[in-house]
Amino acid sequence: MPADLTLTLVMEVASGILIVAGCLFFLAGTVGLLRFPDLYCRLHALTKADTLGLGLIVAGLVLQNPVWPARLQLVLIWILALSAAATVCHLLARSSLAAGIEPIREPGGSSAGVTSAGEDR
Amino acid sequence: MNPVDLYMLAGIVITLIALYAALTRAHLFWKVLAINLMGTGVFLILLAAPSRRTPEIADPLPQAMVLTGIVVAVAATALALGIALRVIARSGLPFLPDGDEEDQGSGGSAGEASR
Amino acid sequence: MTALGFLLDAAVVLLLVGLATRLLLTRHLFEAIVLFVSYGLTLSLAWVRLGAPNIALAEAALGAGVTGALFLNTYQRLTERIGDGPKSPLLEDDGSRDPPAWFKGVLGGGVLLLVLGAGWALLGAGRRPAFLPHEIAARLPETGVQNPVTGVLLNFRGYDTLLEIAVLVAAMAGVWSLDRGSRRFGRARGEPDEDPVLHALTRFAVPVTVVTAVYLTWVGSTEPGGAFQAGSLLAGAGVLLTVAGVLPPPTAASRPVRAMVAGGMAGFILAGIAVLPLTGQFLHYPEGWAYPMILGIEALLTVSIAVVLVELFVDVPAVPEPDPALESVDPSGDPLGRALRGKEGS
Amino acid sequence: MTEFELWSTVVIFGPLLASVVALSARPALLRAGLVLGSLSTLVGSAGLWRAVALYGPGRHPLGGWGQPLGIELWIDGFGVAMLAVTALVGALTSLYANSYFGDLSELSVRDSPAGRGARFFAPLWLLLWTALNGIYLSADLFNLYVTLEILGLSAAAIVTLAVSRQATVAGMRYLLVSLIGSLLYLLGVALLYVQYGTLSLEGLAAIGPSGPIPAIALAAMTVGMAAKTALFPFHAWLPPAHAGAPAPGSAILSALVVKGSFFILVRLWFSVYGGGSPEGLILLGVLGSGAILWGSILALRQVSLKRLIAYSTVAQLGYLFVMFPLLIPEPRLWNADAWTGGLLLAISHALAKAAMFLAAGNMSYAVAEDRLTSISGVAHRLPMSFFAFGVGGLSLAGLPPSAGFVGKWLLLRSAFETAHWTWIAVIAVGGLLTIAYVLKVLRYALDRDEAPEDFRPVPRRMEWAAALLALAAMALGVRALELVELLLVGGPFPW
């Protein structure tokens, strides 16, 4: 039994670390959304960081959950969220380019960058 | 304080501030938004308060009522937004004219104008 | 764990009240709509915390999802109409039309009193013996399903659910009667979107969504799920197909669409009437028939609900310029008479 | 299967099924839907009337569960009387609507602004009819909420079938009032469920609600329902909505729809709360008196025909609330005269107001205008509509032998018995004002000797529908005894 107990403990700790790391990515993504200068940078921050964060949290939860179908479901959720985020990001960027919104070229950005997420369309 | 109490109090607060907003915001879209929020406030009361009073067993009846309420709210929102768009199409503005204005309008001036 | 749970609850509640207040106070329509969707998603978190996963699903799909999409779609029509002028009163409400301060003051005072009164009354209410929940739990086996919420919705109180479908149909007929007709949405059939990514997502996501919807309908009898959640999922797939140009937009002009909208309700009523000679009461399922009948009704409802939701989403018209003929107060108060008269005159 | 179970199924699910048929929106099927809806409600309510007269109040446990687990329909005299008058008004209005909208389809529906929307009048109206029948039979708080929502959505949609700016704005305002009112009602339902853990009206009546939470609940529900019933001072939405709708819609809204929320108020205050509080009843009576006076004065000042009739609805609804304090003159005592008198007024108002709106619809159909000055001389060309309007108006004013007369007389008698002189004065002044505004219309209609030249013939069926309704309002007074007997089955406290 001690071997099992150790395994469980290791799994618990690993799971905790993964989930906390995932949350950190979400935090980073949110900070990026609020602080980045233009739509394209924000999309980048949101989709990349959040997808990775979700992946880490899913991995942590898979370690915690002993049931195989539930683990598969969790992974399926991640795959679906991943594909939806990627597609939506692509569509948003494409329609913004088509609408004539120019990406910012220089680091630092222009004055337009300080508007909050709610105000740009 | 019990967490369920928190949700119940939030329900009361949201219901009533949404009612206030529905009556004081003139813009039609905010009225529709506020009515939606008012509904969710009532749903919070409906779900939190009974489970607070009988914590020993989950009560499926409020859940069924809230589910029905959500569907009704979607239906009402769709119709309200449709009519609001027509109000904008007719008058160019997302507001309802004052009741008095409307009252005067039907009788005298507009009738004359149509002659 | 309880302390952590309490912190989470407190955070959710504060977020809910904060989002609601901000959304009701803001003057920018787009911000309000975004806040509304965030509010809906936070609310579904609250439903999970309150032990109501059925509602959490419905709230995320319908409350935040479909309603948010309806608002965004309508917003899109407004921006099309005014072009690039962001200061239009359509999108920015400066509050100049709001009622006078005295009205706000009186109403605000009344509302405050009501909040305090209701809060005091409800917090003061003590425990009471629960009769109905025990009764429902005891008689659930007779309903033919194991999910108590489904049992209430489709058997104990099936009549309410039938009328709830009637509410949806009434809203649908109302929207149709606004006669917005066959506005082209997305692309016409046979003219697929040139975007490969959207196309790939459609091909991948639609089958997955349909399978999930079927699963949700079927699992609703034992676990969280059911016709409404499944219907809104299916509606998501339908919207995707319409946007990608695979399906023509459903309109009132199409007879199959009308048949599918009315079909769920018709099937429900006919099932209720069919059992009358056997059991004597409307919707009183004969013994052993409850489960198959409920499943059949749920399947029909899922399709109906999906079609109604797609239609409500897709069929939002462009807003025309005010028509002078219709803008002025109609002197006859009776447009049909006037329309006829115009006909005769010409 | 009892008679109650059979006929209540027919009366609710007949029109619901008919709305499915009508949703197909082919002209032939639209007609089939209206016929199916009318027949099922007429037959169903006749069957229920017979059953109630034979056996007293009855019930229909839907799904076989019975309250409190499931939903029950409760069939008593009050509900059946409302069902019957709804069936009569509804059937004749359907007949009218068939010509009113059908006429349009011959003229190529596509080209007129309202045309294609008008195809949805029949399904919307049949859904509305279902909701009304559902309200009159329901014995469950939450079920009433769902029926109220069907009623509100379909009624607002019917107002916006008229495409003018005025009608659209009125429909929007109506929808908003209706939604807020329903949510206030739902808030009350939630509070009552929190307190007592049941949704059954019968169960609540057995408990006898009292205490702070039920009091707040009753207040919320009363404000919500009063707003939907357009009780003074919540009446501002009503005149533009009722005047702006297409003629058959006006008749339905004014005669029938406002009675739905009124019915719920009566059920709540008396059947469930056992009379509520005397102060509350007097407050409702005072608001009713305000409605009678204010509505009548505004009706007198209108220059548009349909608006005058709409303001008259505001005034007439006031009488129904004067019934509230008269019904319970002392705690634990109810006055049968006030009960039958008030409800007879509700019923006769339904018939008379439908007749007046349909007749007004005929007149403005003929001259394509709605102003009082433009209908001058119409009486010569449309004698039947003129007759319908006059008879309906006299019934409204309470002249014998109309049903309005019997109702007012009973109400006055109950006020005399308990020496409530204020209410007597209000009822009397309201009657005089009613006569004044009815005569005002009649004077315009008879104004000129010759008929107006610019005149479009009105389909015979539309004239007949209005005239038959007016005759029914008159004849009801002659046969009022049967109705009084029916209304006493169950009385205000059925449980």
Neighbours of chain D (3+ CB pairs under 8 A): B, C
What pLDDT shows up at residue C327? 46
Nearest beta carbon to residue C198 from set A91, A117, A119: A91
Q: Do B14 and C16 touch (CB under 8 A)?
A: yes
What pLDDT shows up at residue C322? 62
| Domain spans in chain D, listed from the N-terminal domain onward | 290-495
The C-alpha torsion from D385 through D389 and D392 to D398, rounded to 10°, is: -150
Per residue in C43-89, pLDDT (tens digit) is: 999 999 998 888 998 899 888 888 998 998 888 888 877 765 556 77
**Residue of B85, B103, B104 to mutate for C, most C C-beta atoms under 10 A:** B85
Residue C179 identity (one-letter amino acid): D
CB contact at 8 A, B49 and C116: no
CB contact at 8 A, C70 and C46: no
> CA D151, CA D118: separation in Å to the nearest integer?
18
Residue C37 identity (one-letter amino acid): V
What pLDDT shows up at residue C321? 64
The tokens describing C51, both together, are: 């032990």
> CA A13, CA A63: separation in Å to the nearest integer?
10
Alpha helices, H only, C50-147: 53-58, 67-82, 101-124, 132-139
Domain-embedded: residue A47: yes
Say how many residues make up chain C: 346
Q: Is the pLDDT of residue D64 over 80?
A: yes
Q: Do D166 and B75 touch (CB under 8 A)?
A: no
Measured CA to CA in angstroms, residue C252 lies from C258, D26, D103 at distances of 6, 12, 22
What pLDDT shows up at residue D188? 95
- For residue D304, the cross-strand partners are D371
Q: Do B45 and D179 touch (CB under 8 A)?
A: no
> CA D221, CA D198: separation in Å to the nearest integer?
17
> CA B97, CA B93: separation in Å to the nearest integer?
9
Nearest beta carbon to residue D246 from set C132, C262, C334: C334
Nearest beta carbon to residue A118 from set C28, C197, C204: C28
CB contact at 8 A, D258 and D265: no
Nearest CA in chain C to D125: C170
Measured CA to CA in angstroms, residue A95 lies from A98, B73, C76, C191, C319 at distances of 5, 32, 14, 19, 22
- Say whether residue C233 is in contact with chain D using an 8 A CB cutoff: no
Domain-embedded: residue A57: yes
CB contact at 8 A, B50 and D197: yes
What pLDDT shows up at residue A104? 77
Question: Lowest mean pLDDT: which of B66-80, D358-372, D429-443?
Answer: D358-372
Query: Against a cut of 0.90, is the pTM above it?
Result: yes
Q: Do C55 and B63 touch (CB under 8 A)?
A: yes
Nearest beta carbon to residue D63 from set C170, C273, C281: C281
Nearest CA in chain A to C200: A87
Full 3-state SS string of D354-372: HHHHHHHHHHHHHHCCCEH
Backbone region of residue A33 per phi and psi (left: phi > 0; alpha: psi in -120 to 50; beta: other values): alpha
Domain-embedded: residue A32: yes
Of C336, C328, C180, the residue nearest D246 (C-alpha) = C336
Query: If you average pLDDT over every residue of chain D, what do you get?
Result: 89
Which contacts of C160-164 are long-range, i.e. CB under 8 A and separated by 24 or more positions?
Answer: C160/B64, C160/B68, C160/D71, C160/D142, C160/D143, C160/D146, C161/B68, C161/C268, C162/C265, C162/C268, C162/C269, C162/C272, C162/C283, C162/D16, C163/D131, C163/D134, C163/D143, C163/D146, C163/D147, C163/D150, C164/B68, C164/B71, C164/B72, C164/D146
What pLDDT shows up at residue C224? 83
Residue D353 identity (one-letter amino acid): K
> CA A47, CA A81: separation in Å to the nearest integer?
10
Q: Do C197 and A86 touch (CB under 8 A)?
A: yes
> CA D316, CA D292: separation in Å to the nearest integer?
6
Query: What 3-state class would DSSP assign to C190?
Result: coil
CB-CB neighbors (< 8 A) of D166 in chain B: 102, 105-106
User: The dihedral of CA C259, C262, C265, C271: what is its sign?
Assistant: negative
CB-CB neighbors (< 8 A) of C331 in chain B: 110-111, 114
**Which residue stretches of chain C have pLDDT < 50?**
181-192, 327-346
Q: Do A119 and C31 touch (CB under 8 A)?
A: yes
> CA D462, CA D382: separation in Å to the nearest integer?
11
Nearest beta carbon to residue D127 from set C169, C333, C340: C169
Centre a 10 Å sphere on the Cβ of residue B1 and count the other Cβ atoms it contains. 10
What pLDDT shows up at residue C95? 77
What is the enclosing helix (H) or strand (E) of A108? none
Antiparallel, parallel or unpaired: β D72-75 and D58-61: antiparallel
Question: Which position has the token pair 């509509």?
Answer: D385
Domain-embedded: residue A107: no
Domain-embedded: residue A106: no
ipTM over 0.95: no
Per residue in A5-38, pLDDT (tens digit) is: 788 888 889 999 999 999 999 999 989 888 888 8
Domain-embedded: residue A39: yes
Q: Which CATH architecture describes the domain B3-93?
A: Orthogonal Bundle (1.10)
The tokens describing D4, both together, are: 């109650």
CB-CB neighbors (< 8 A) of C79 in chain A: 121
Phi, psi dihedral angles at C43 (to 5 degrees): -65, -35
CB within 8 Å of chain B, chain C residues 88-107: 89-90, 93, 95, 97-99, 103-104, 107
Question: Lowest mean pLDDT: which of C195-209, D208-222, D246-260, D272-286?
Answer: C195-209
Cis peptide before D233 (omega within 30 of 0): yes
Radius of gyration of chain C (CA): 24
For C239-272, b/e burial (b = at least 16 CB within 10 A) is bbbbbbbbbbbbbbeeeebbebbbbbbbbbbebb
Q: Band of the pLDDT at D43, cuts 50, 70, 90?
A: very high
- For residue C28, the cross-strand partners are C92
What pLDDT shows up at residue C188? 44
Nearest CA in chain C to D190: C122
Q: Band of the pLDDT at D449, cuts 50, 70, 90?
A: low
Q: How far off is chain B from D187, nearest CA to CA, in Å? A: 6
- Say whether residue C326 is in contact with chain D using an 8 A CB cutoff: yes
The tokens describing D213, both together, are: 């939470």
Phi, psi dihedral angles at D120 (to 5 degrees): -95, 5
What pLDDT shows up at residue C193? 52
- Say whether residue B66 is in contact with chain C using an 8 A CB cutoff: yes
What pLDDT shows up at residue C86? 58
C-alpha angle B15-D291-D252 in degrees, rounded to nearest 5: 80
- For residue D75, the cross-strand partners are D58
> CA D282, CA D301: separation in Å to the nearest integer?
29
> CA B75, CA C309: separation in Å to the nearest integer?
9
Q: Do D194 and B53 touch (CB under 8 A)?
A: yes
Q: Is the pLDDT of residue D200 over 90?
A: yes
- Say whether residue B108 is in contact with chain C using an 8 A CB cutoff: no
Q: What is the mean pLDDT of residues D139-158?
A: 96
Alpha helices, H only, C275-319: 276-279, 290-314
> CA C202, CA C245: separation in Å to the nearest integer?
10
What pLDDT shows up at residue D446? 81
The tokens describing D93, both together, are: 């209005």
What pLDDT shows up at residue C323? 59
Q: Band of the pLDDT at D36, cuts 50, 70, 90?
A: very high
What pLDDT shows up at residue C179? 65
Measured CA to CA in angstroms, residue D48 lies from D6, D339, D378, D441 at distances of 9, 21, 41, 39
Measured CA to CA in angstroms, residue D368 lies from D68, D274, D351 at distances of 54, 50, 25
Measured CA to CA in angstroms, residue D123 lies from C125, C252, C260, D129 at distances of 45, 13, 15, 10
CB contact at 8 A, D6 and D43: no
CB contact at 8 A, D137 and D8: yes
What is the enclosing helix (H) or strand (E) of C5? helix C2-25
CB-CB neighbors (< 8 A) of C149 in chain B: 60, 63-64, 67
Which range of residues forms the domain containing residue A39?
Answer: 2-100
Residue C274 identity (one-letter amino acid): A
- Say whether residue D154 is in contact with chain B using an 8 A CB cutoff: no
What pLDDT shows up at residue A116? 41
> CA D256, CA D260: separation in Å to the nearest integer?
7
| Chain A and chain D touch, per 3+ beta carbon pairs within 8 A | no
CB contact at 8 A, D357 and D250: yes
The tokens describing C213, both together, are: 């919807």
- Which comes out higher in pLDDT, residue B115 or D82? D82
Nearest beta carbon to residue B62 from set D157, D170, D193: D193
Nearest beta carbon to residue B114 from set C43, C89, C331: C331
- Say whether residue C326 is in contact with chain B using an 8 A CB cutoff: yes
